[in-house]
Chain A
């Protein structure tokens, strides 16, 4: 019996030992797991910090900082006169173009791993023409359009409606009309003749001369009349009257009629009601407008550049002559596009996202990437 008892005790002891061993093993495994998780967390944090550092570096680049400051809330509601003056500087079209071109030339996204083709393809897939109307717009009732908003003169008189209309024109690629109308109206109100003369070259070079950047669509006789008057030194307040009337009529008959059928008009009416019930308007904010103006102008400048370079690149490519040299020039031109694309993405992630904005930006960049890929494909065949 004693032996049996002994064996039993031994067995129990063995069992206990085994249990202890198991527990130890479990503890060790737990510790291993925890340490692994800690390591992973540390790795993740490191990556995050690296990314943050990269972003901060990017923000430190002078041109980009200037660009992003437009989204700063202070600038939307300028308080001091200095800020107002600064804003005015930015509003002039040249000031809009330059920082972006500067940035494009700067071309400093090399540190980030960026695959333009993949990201571009993914966004090309989403058709910008597929309409995704904001749910708000369902509230729109066509029967309660206020009289003020059905009249074109009134639309031009009110700030909010003007902003909406400008936003719409931007989409329709006819922004130059409203810009000319605004600047020419300002010119009309200047009484001091010396000041008036100072304004003239600006207006001429931007809007009136043939081939100018924002050339307006007026007939040759009115254009010649304006140029003739300026040559003769007759610089009166009604110098641009005919052109203003023509452009206004053009906008009223064509653009305004289209505007009335658009979603932006619905949004405007809803906003109008919002104001009259004492709420704050949602509106196409000035900051948002600025961004779109910039994109639009940048694009125009870029297209000019493209057409300039097409003689050097596209034509020789079609003749299949020495591709090695063209590759360099190719990079020179199309690197900025990809950089601008990433910048565009950054921009939109920072400002408030809205479906219309994204649609617009997509529309704009679609064209560029169409060009980009076609040329790239050609290169890959030739090389």
Chain B
């Protein structure tokens, strides 16, 4: 009898072992098949916007709760934007219209919460936004920290303030929420599991990036090209584009990423086109000696970045886009898919 029991136990053990091994094989396969995209870049370059686009392209868009959250954020953002602009007016020694001075004083005392978005404050913000001094400070916004989408939302106050306001996809894509920590989202793209890692871009956030450097298939580095005349959020003395270039040089040549293919996404080209007509590119890059038009400047920036990340083990792909435009981003991700496919083929020795 004892022998029989022993045999039974052994059989059970063997069966369990087989099960475990099968599971291990499965998870191995899953890991091999899984594509991991790292989205990196300096602060406010549009990394999270890319993730939102993926939500629209490969998942079923934004839920009701998401939309409610974004509505609140957009509404509070309007108040902070106006406050920042008012502080800008003070900083630049501009003078508001006399009737607006008192409104401005009251407005600066409002806290940055949803509850301060009242009919009164809506009226005040509309009146202030139409003030010529405010427009002047908006023109010179590069001297202080104002989100790029501020103009878009301030022009649409009426729509946003209406009772039945539901943010459109375009609103959500333009809405700025700064990221802290690391977020990992899984997508199914053409039956292929993608793991996308979105990170915060400010200096204090960068030490967290290394946790997700292993097993990456592709690095997507996002550069906001329009920020060539702006200073960093976390350091008022460093130029944003200089910082972005330096950051790319160090991360792309990092021990774990130096042999990984890389996509450089030059973002916010639409804002860049507007800005290049007003602000000379020469001011921030003195090496640049071409004429001040879109094509030449962007060529210059491209050569700078490609040079910084060039090495024999990898290929670098360059795309130009405006991250709030879904069609452009769809095109970019189609290209990304083909490079990933190339990667897989190369690994298995077909190419």
Contact = CB atoms under 8 A, between A and B. Distances in A.
Interface string B163-184: 0000000000000011111111
B112 A245 contact: yes
A173 B204 contact: no
Nearest to A251: B180
Contact of B233 (A125, A220, A251, A367): A220
Contacts of B211: 173, 363-364, 367
Interface in B197-231: 200, 202-205, 207-208, 210-215
A201 interface: no
B177 A367 contact: no
Interface size range of chain A in the complex: 35 or more
Contact of B182 (A172, A177, A257, A310): A172
Nearest to A306: B210
Nearest to A255: B180
B178 A217 contact: yes
A374 interface: yes
A130 B27 CA distance: 9
B208 to A, nearest CB: 4
Interface string B71-99: 00100000000000000000000000000
A57 B233 CA distance: 53
Contacts of B215: 370
B195 interface: yes
B178 A169 contact: no
Nearest to A303: B210
Contact of A367 (B28, B112, B210, B232): B210
B180 A174 contact: yes
Nearest to A370: B214
A216 B180 CA distance: 10
A169 to B, nearest CB: 7
B31 interface: yes
B69 interface: yes
A84 interface: no
A14 interface: no
Contacts of A215: 203-204
Contacts of A81: none
Contacts of B182: 172-173
A20 interface: no
A219 B181 contact: no
A44 to B, nearest CB: 16
B288 interface: no
B145 A174 contact: no
Contact of A217 (B28, B202, B236, B256): B202
A250 B24 contact: no
A129 B186 contact: yes
A155 to B, nearest CB: 15
B235 interface: yes
A249 B112 contact: yes
Given A210-B203, A220-B235, A254-B179, A129 B255 contact: no
A253 B256 contact: no
A383 to B, nearest CB: 19
B205 A127 contact: no
Contact of B204 (A125, A216, A254, A366): A216
B180 A254 contact: yes
B342 interface: no
A177 B145 CA distance: 21
Contacts of B195: 129
A371 B254 CA distance: 12
B27 A250 contact: no
B214 A366 contact: yes
Nearest to B48: A254
A303 B254 CA distance: 14
Most buried by A among B24, B31, B186, B213: B31
Interface in A226-251: 245, 249-251
8 contacts: A126-B24, A210-B204, A219-B233, A220-B234, A220-B235, A310-B255, A370-B215, A374-B255
